[in-house]
Amino acid sequence: MQRPDGRTPGAMRSVKITPNYTMHAEGSVLIEMGNTKVICTASVEESVPPFLKDTGLGWVTAEYAMLPRATNTRKKRDIKNLKLDGRSSEIQRLIGRSLRAVVDRKALGERQIIVDCDVIQADGGTRCASITGGFVALWLACNKLMEEGVIRTMPLTAQVAAVSVGIFEDEAVLDLNYAEDSHAIVDSNVVMTSKGDFIEVQGTGEGRPFTESELKKLLGLSKRGISRLCKAQSKITGDVGV
């Protein structure tokens, strides 16, 4: 089986994470996974949503957007419709809960960190890139709070990363680009911590049902991919939660 870009089934696209990509946010990165590029910024607010007021617990949430010409045709901005489209809403909820899974909210204190993920170029796997890059932006923001003496300990308990896997032309493959994702028989996204724990597994049989054996292959590929992504993160964050 020949993948569209010549990779072997278990090969990932190149991964590059550039820290401090913008000057104003407490944490920011540009993450590039092949031709997919996402700017992730983490902003600290000294307040929490009303349901957490006076609890001593912090909060981490996320917002996701795809810029109008991130794809091969222009996508209207969500503001044109005065609300998020269903896809963007689902993705930003996924990013938020994935990041919160590795946050000690008591150590963060009663403050909120908002992670904005803006896709500037899309070639598949934008939600996975957003989670992987969003974690690094979140770490940078938390590290700044520690350096400034606002918090005493790092509130992140592990790294979190995400990768796409699927079945393309009856072969299990890792890190699908758009050409593969749009024709995949099975499409999945897997979110895991650097400790090897699962946060979320999304999987859909697009062209046919898939077997338990195929699912195990996909999970095996995802573990390998996330291990590589965590190593890329560690070049900036060090090993978190070890």
* pLDDT more than 70, % of the chain: 98
Q: Dihedral sign for Cα 74, 78, 84, 85, please.
A: negative
What number is the average pLDDT over the span 61-81?
A: 87
Q: Poorest-confidence range of 17-21, 77-81, 171-175, 233-237?
A: 77-81
Q: Dihedral sign for Cα 81, 96, 36, 167, please.
A: negative
pLDDT at position 80, please? 61
Give the span between the Cα atoms of 98 and 241, in whole angstroms.
16
pLDDT at 79 over 80: no
Give the span between the Cα atoms of 7 and 104, in whole angstroms.
39
From residue 147, how far is each of 24, 28, 47, 110, 239 by CA, in Å?
17, 16, 20, 18, 18
pLDDT band at 82 (very low <50, low <70, confident <90, very high): low
pLDDT at position 97, please? 97
Q: For residue 151, what are the contacts with CB-CB under 8 A and spacing of at least 6?
A: 107, 108, 109, 142, 145
pLDDT band at 84 (very low <50, low <70, confident <90, very high): confident
* Gyration radius (Cα) of the chain, Å: 18
pLDDT at 103 over 90: yes
Tokens, residue 161:
């990363």
pLDDT at 225 over 70: yes
What number is the average pLDDT over the span 191-204?
A: 96
* pLDDT more than 90, % of the chain: 89
Q: How do strand 59-66 and strand 112-121 relate by DSSP bridges?
A: parallel
Q: How do strand 36-45 and strand 27-33 relate by DSSP bridges?
A: antiparallel
Tokens, residue 114:
């908002």
pLDDT band at 118 (very low <50, low <70, confident <90, very high): very high
Q: What b-and-e string marks burial along 79-103, b requiring 16 or more CB atoms within 10 Å of the CB?
A: eeeeebeeebeebbebbbebbbbbb
What number is the average pLDDT over the span 188-202?
A: 97
- Tokens 């995802």 correspond to 222
pLDDT at position 241, please? 82
**Could you report the per-residue pLDDT of 138-185, keeping only the tens digit for each?**
999 999 999 999 999 999 999 999 999 999 999 999 999 999 999 999
pLDDT at position 47, please? 95
Give the span between the Cα atoms of 142 and 240, in whole angstroms.
12
What number is the average pLDDT over the span 49-71?
A: 95
Tokens, residue 154:
């790092």
pLDDT at position 14, please? 97
Reduce the DSSP state of residue 142 to 3 states and report it.
helix
Give the span between the Cα atoms of 186 and 165, in whole angstroms.
8
What number is the average pLDDT over the span 132-140?
A: 98
What number is the average pLDDT over the span 102-120?
A: 97
pTM equals 0.95
**Residue 73 burial (CB count, 10 A):** 6
Helices (H) and strands (E) in the chain, counts: 5, 9
DSSP letter for each residue of 2-25: --TTS--TTPPPPEEEEES-SSSS
pLDDT at position 77, please? 81
